[in-house]
Amino acid sequence: MHTQILVIGWGKAGKTLAGVLGRAGRSVTLVERSGAMVGGTCINIGCVPTKALVYSAEGRREEDDPTAYFRAAVAGRDTLIDKLNAANRAMLEPVEQVRLVVGGVAEFVGPRQVRVTGGEDELMITADTVIINTGAVPRTLPVPGADGPRVHDSTSLQHVEPFPARLAIVGAGPVALEFASMFAHFGSVVTVLERGERILRGEDADVAASMAEALTDAGVRILTGAQTTAIEDDAAPDAHPTGQRPALTVRTTAGDVTADAVLVAVGRVPATAGLGLDAAGIEVGEGGEVVTDDLLRTSADGVWAVGDVNGGSQQTYVSYDDHRIVLSQLEEPDGDRSGVRSRADRVAVPATIFTTPPLGRVGLSEDQAREQGRSFEVYAKPVAKIAVMPRPKALGETHGLIKLVVDTDTDEVLGAALHTVDAQEMINLVALAMRTGTTRDQLLDGIWTHPSTTEALNEVLASPRD
């Protein structure tokens, strides 16, 4: 068959492009290899289900049995995801011009020529335009025992059975720390194994220390300088049908750790294996990502790559912006290109780690500003000491740090790290301020609702850190 638009992968950018272009009258074919991934990573195994579990974990009381409570939380998670999965089907199934191929594995066999196989069935597709939207997958750990039945990635741990009384987590990045915080609140004794000197190596030391304090107070043990060398599980999978199996042993350079389950969270890599990109003349980078320019065009004519697979920031909202970039080109293929969007247009893109409390981050850190030779001042204060912001105290969660880096020449914000309740919302305000050139004085003198987290700006920005 021939189609004008072929989308490989049902992620945020791909499904949005399929819907918009199909409704505009283009013939679109969307291929998704797994029925369990209809709608993409975010709604099925990423953003939404994990944050649903985070919210559930934060509501557990001391008297709640961890195993029963976790099982109920997972059931609620699954009900929600089933609804979102069905809603994503409903968004595209009624569109006459969109053909959905679910359960088929796509592989390039030539320029804009793709073979889709599912069991004994095979479909050959040619297309005018191909959009690669296959996402990313968890990075594996190359040590003995890392492929054992009680060693999980961020997907399988969401349905871990039985609930682990002791959980070891290899890694100390955003995904690792979200699960560390989540499972500690569910009732696990959690140990984080970080091979470096501290967690969150990309953050300033004081921000990482704030996160470490919150995790430690939640019961998480953080072991640094701990390079994992092996994971040992001597129990045969069927030897203990009641689930009372001997503990795992995680061997590290800082000593051994015992656990009932292990999470490997050492990053995610673009999902390009098996796509046959060579056959289409599509260049791949050292990290396995599809190489693109700022318009998200690949090295092959008529082929774009969007979302996590192109090596950019692995965030669903960045994937959504990827769709805007590609759409702006496909809507006017031969017309005026002055309105075409570009990845270079992005300014102050925020991110949040959904620990308890969350950490929102945007722009330059203090270390990065110093490395760039910028003239700046730092405005920072621990959340517990911000008198004008009672909301964290009212919620009983006063861990954290509010920190902003401000250009001394322009008085504009260069970056911020907000480790506090509501950080996932407040960071968007700071990002908008950065995009619009709003100054420190304007944020300082802003009139904010009370009690809110935003009103911390009235105090934190009043004077630089000593």
**Does 165 reside within a domain?**
yes
End position of a domain, from candidates 235, 266, 297: 266
C-alpha to C-alpha distance for 181 and 27, rounded to whole angstroms: 45
Tell me the mean pLDDT in the region 298-305: 97
**Does 375 reside within a domain?**
yes
Provide the annotated binding site for FAD. 51, 308
Domain of residue 443: give its range: 351-460
**Does 146 reside within a domain?**
no
End position of a domain, from candidates 266, 292, 321: 266
Look at residue 243 and tell me whether its pLDDT is greater than 60. Answer: no
Q: What's the pLDDT band for 151 if we cut at 50, 70, 90? A: very high
Task: Report the pLDDT value the prediction gives residue 356, as an integer from 0 to 100.
Answer: 97
Does 273 lie in the same domain as 124?
yes
DSSP per-residue letters across 79-92: HHHHHHHHHHHHHH
State what percent of residues in the chain have pLDDT above 70. 96
Does 159 lie in the same domain as 256?
yes
Look at residue 231 and tell me whether its pLDDT is greater than 90. Answer: yes
Task: Report the pLDDT value the prediction gives residue 331, as an integer from 0 to 100.
Answer: 82
Look at residue 394 and tell me whether its pLDDT is greater than 80. Answer: yes
C-alpha to C-alpha distance for 343 and 295, rounded to whole angstroms: 6
Q: What's the pLDDT band for 322 if we cut at 50, 70, 90? A: very high
Task: Report the pLDDT value the prediction gives residue 417, as an integer from 0 to 100.
Answer: 98
CA-based max dimension of the chain: 69
Task: Report the pLDDT value the prediction gives residue 242, as an integer from 0 to 100.
Answer: 47
Residue 415: its H or E element: strand 413-419
Of 225, 200, 173, the residue nearest 367 (C-alpha): 200
Provide the annotated binding site. 51, 171-178, 194, 267, 308
C-alpha to C-alpha distance for 346 and 357, rounded to whole angstroms: 27
Does 366 lie in the same domain as 238?
no
C-alpha to C-alpha distance for 105 and 295, rounded to whole angstroms: 26
Q: For residue range 401-445, list pLDDT tens digits in order.
A: 999 999 999 999 999 999 999 999 999 999 999 999 999 999 999
C-alpha to C-alpha distance for 74 and 52, rounded to whole angstroms: 9
- Looking up tokens 């320029």 gives 111
DSSP state of 163: P
Look at residue 236 and tell me whether its pLDDT is greater than 50. Answer: yes
Look at residue 260 and tell me whether its pLDDT is greater than 60. Answer: yes
Tell me the mean pLDDT in the region 318-326: 95
Does 230 lie in the same domain as 90?
no
Q: For residue range 326-370, list pLDDT tens digits in order.
A: 999 998 665 556 668 999 999 999 999 999 999 999 999 999 999
**Does 449 reside within a domain?**
yes
**Does 294 reside within a domain?**
yes
Does 417 lie in the same domain as 307?
no
Does 130 lie in the same domain as 276?
yes
- Looking up tokens 């004794």 gives 189
| CB of 92 closer than 8 Å to CB of 15 | yes
DSSP per-residue letters across 131-156: EE---EEEPP--STTTTSTTEE-TTG
Does 14 lie in the same domain as 131?
yes
Phi, psi of 255 (to 5 degrees): 120, 170
* pTM of the complete model: 0.94
Residue 440: strand, helix, or coil: helix
Does 356 lie in the same domain as 341?
no
Instruction: State the CB neighbour count (10 A cutoff) for residue 246.
Output: 12
Residue 461: its H or E element: none
C-alpha to C-alpha distance for 344 and 325, rounded to whole angstroms: 10
**Does 465 reside within a domain?**
no
CATH number at residue 368: 3.30.390.30
Does 129 lie in the same domain as 6?
yes
Does 208 lie in the same domain as 280?
no
**Residues taking part in catalysis:** 450
Q: What's the pLDDT band for 466 if we cut at 50, 70, 90? A: confident
DSSP per-residue letters across 287-352: TSPBP--TT-B-SSTTEEE-GGGGTS---HHHHHHHHHHHHHHHSSTTS--TT---GGG--S--EE
| CB of 195 closer than 8 Å to CB of 266 | no
**Does 167 reside within a domain?**
yes
End position of a domain, from candidates 213, 242, 266: 266
Q: For residue 382, give every residue at least 6 positions away whose Cβ sits within 8 Å of its Cβ, in sequence order, or none.
A: 210, 400, 401
Q: For residue range 397-412, list pLDDT tens digits in order.
A: 999 999 999 999 999 9
Provide the annotated binding site for NAD(+). 171-178, 194, 267
CATH number at residue 333: 3.50.50.60
Task: Report the pLDDT value the prediction gives residue 287, as an integer from 0 to 100.
Answer: 92
Residue 356: both structure tokens together: 């308890």
Q: Tell me how many domains the chain contains.
A: 3
How far out from the chain centre does Cα 37 lie? 16
Does 257 lie in the same domain as 165?
yes
Mean pLDDT of the chain: 94
**Does 194 reside within a domain?**
yes
Q: For residue range 74-127, list pLDDT tens digits in order.
A: 999 999 999 999 999 999 999 999 999 999 999 999 999 999 999 889 999 999
C-alpha to C-alpha distance for 424 and 350, rounded to whole angstroms: 9
| CB of 354 closer than 8 Å to CB of 175 | no
Task: Report the pLDDT value the prediction gives residue 240, as an integer from 0 to 100.
Answer: 46
Does 156 lie in the same domain as 134?
no
| CB of 76 closer than 8 Å to CB of 84 | no
